Amino acid sequence: MFQESRPVLLLALVTIIAVGCSVDSSPAAPSPAAPSPAGSSPAGASPQAGINWSTSTILGPQVYVSPSGSDTNDGSSAHPWLSLSRANSAAKPGTTIHVVPGTYPSDNESGARLLTTASGTAAAPIRWVSDQRWGAKLTSTQMGNSATWWNQGDYVEIQGFDITGVGDLGIYNEGSSTRIIGNHVHNIPAPGCPNDGGAGIHDGNYSASDDDIIGNWVHDIGDYNSPCSRVHGIYHANQRGHVTNNVVFRNQGWGIHTWHAANQIVIANNSVFNNAYGGILIGAQSSDFPSGSGVQDYSTISNNIVFRNGLVSGGQGNGIEEYGDVGSHIKYLNNLVYKNGPVNWSLIANTHTGTITSAPSFKWYTGDGRGNYRLQSVSPAATSGTSTAAPSDDHDRGPRPINGTWSRGAYQYGSTVGSYPEP
């Protein structure tokens, strides 16, 4: 198999930014607005009724954006702004930007693209919050190598948005210490298996670090019926960070793909199923590390459900695969890996332990957004997870463990739905 049939990402999104990456690793200007596709709230995981974020000013200002607002307003709840760009220009460490339900076309943004550049701090991050989970719908109409949301800020959180478009990327992040939480990223076409690749969520700055992708619902990125090794659900290309509690399905390439300068990552408690090319790829390219060389090592891949990936005609990935420059200290613990093609495992430098090779017994498996991917009581994944690298809550923000046991996959068996948004 030619190397280029594996990870050939990623993403030349304009040369405006120099972030220690080559030109072909940074995104082109994100795009102007397109209407969201129908059926944007999958039946199996419809969010609970939205709970508004508090108006506490302990960390910093609370500002507001609304489809009925105006950028000449003061950004208060009574007089919100229209664009997220206006909120970005006012944001400082500790600011929470409340985005109320409605549709936000990128035509309303500065330069007809959503580009956020403001940074927070470790003690006072900037928080972009859809006040109702998946209620604030961001759209884009710019085609090609473009992102619906392009973030360059450090210590930034993006939580609870519905994101779609007609380009190659949903969320493209170049910041460090970011958290992309609980978003619905879907129907990003990335047409023609583009050479620069595509992704639903992409941490693309090789020199950045500590980026978290948590509890997102990511699907239909690229053309599912035509497998491509360059268009993925989630793509992580830098050091450390957590990829946890995500539900990732029906994407053209891999469900979760690590490459470039990826190293010391936690990939835990994700449900990855029915992706066209493959399930999870663990890899790196030595020349892309900021120091000039490196390998992916000391990562932990635990408690994931990886089911029925790589089965579309033309798919050449596997369930979980190592590829490229990897070290011998990567841990694969207590994953359920079953019925993937061509094979469930393809590791070159490490071994796996605690693996289950049987069906996960979801409540209702359809392989698309109609299903219910919580676990039945008879599921072999319900109580067989490990505490190693496990998050303290699940996809629904409910607690882990329950009765001293950890589940595999994004949903903890027996857990209840937690409050939204996450603190």
Encode pLDDT of 190-221 as tens digits.
999 999 999 999 999 999 999 999 999 999 99
Encoded tokens for 109: 């943004």
The pLDDT value recorded for residue 393 is: 97
Q: How confident is the model at residue 4 (pLDDT cuts 50, 70, 90)?
A: very low
Does the pLDDT value for residue 246 go beyond 80? yes
Determine the distance from the C-alpha atom of residue 301 to the mean position of all C-alpha atoms in its chain, rounded to a whole number: 16
Q: Is the pLDDT of residue 267 over 50?
A: yes
pLDDT in tens, 72-92: 999 999 999 999 999 999 999
Check residue 143 and give its pLDDT: 86
Residue 380 included in any domain: no
Query: Cα Rg for the chain, rounded, in angstroms?
Result: 20
Residue 394 lies in a domain: no
Please give the angle made by the CA atoms of 143, 26 and 234, to the nearest 5 degrees: 75
Task: Please report whether residue 384 resides in a domain.
Answer: no
Judged on CB neighbours under 10 Å (0-12, 13-18, 19+), 226 is: middle
Residue 421 forms part of a structural domain: no
User: What's the confidence (pLDDT) of residue 142?
Assistant: 83
The predicted pLDDT at position 412 comes to 98
Flag whether 316 is in a domain. yes
Task: Tell me what pLDDT residue 408 has.
Answer: 98
High-pLDDT (> 70) share of the chain, %: 86
Residue 308 pLDDT greater than 60, yes or no: yes
- Averaged pLDDT, 167-179: 98
Is 414's pLDDT higher than 60? yes
The answer to the question of residue 313 being in a domain is yes
Its domain, for residue 175, covers 3-375
Q: Across residues 40-53, what is the average pLDDT?
A: 33
Is 120 part of a structural domain of the chain? yes
Q: How many domains does the chain have?
A: 1
Angle at CA of residue 251, ends 375 and 196, nearest 5°: 145
CATH number, domain containing residue 312? 2.160.20.10
Residue 134 lies in a domain: yes
Task: Please count the other Cβ atoms lying within 10 Å of the Cβ belonging to residue 406.
Answer: 25
Mean model confidence pLDDT for the chain: 89
Residues 160-189: what's their mean pLDDT?
98
